[in-house]
Amino acid sequence: MRVGIGFDVHPLVTGRPLVLGGVTVPFAKGLHGHSDGDVLVHAIIDALLGAASLGGIGDHFPSSDEQLRGISSLVLLERTNDLLRHRGWVVHNTDATIVAQAPVLKPYLGPMQKAIAAHLGVQPEQVSIKAKTTDGLGFTGRGEGIAAMAVATLDAAP
C-alpha cells in the first residue's frame, strides 16, 4: 500500500462557473485556472500521483499545454487513473477536504463523491469529501479563493 497527499488552491473570479468535484455549484464566482480550476479534483490527482511517486499534476498536465485549456478535471482524473493502472496501482481510497467560506457545499458533496468515484472506477464509499470554512480567516475566509487537500491510498494491482 502507498499513501500520497495533495493540495491545490485557485482564486475566485467572476465570469466562470464554480466547478468542484466535477459538479457545477451555483455561485456568483468560479475558480480561475487553465482547466476548469477544480481544486478538489486537482488535490486528489496530486495525492494519487504522489502515492505512486509520479510527481505532481503540473508534471503530467502542465498549464502550458493549450490542449488542456478549459478541460474538465474529471478527464484529467481518468487519465491519472489510467497512468496508475499502467504502473500497476489501483486506488484504495481518497479522503479530501474543501476549504471555502462560501458557498455552502454540503448539498453537493454526495454528487461530487459519486462523480469522482465513477471517474476512478471505485465505489462511492472509497471517496470521502468534506467541506470546512475558516471562520472568516485568511484568503478563503475573505472569499478570495478556495483550497482543497487530499490523501489517497493505492494498492498494488492484483
Task: Give the pLDDT band of residue 158 (cuts 50, 70, 90).
Answer: confident
Which residue type does 112 have?
Answer: M
Q: What is the pLDDT of residue 131?
A: 98
pLDDT digits (tens, 9 = 90+) for 33-90: 999 999 999 999 999 999 999 999 999 999 999 999 999 999 999 999 999 999 999 9
> Model-level pTM greater than 0.75?
yes
CATH code of residue 40: 3.30.1330.50
Its domain, for residue 52, covers 2-156
How many domains are there within the chain? 1
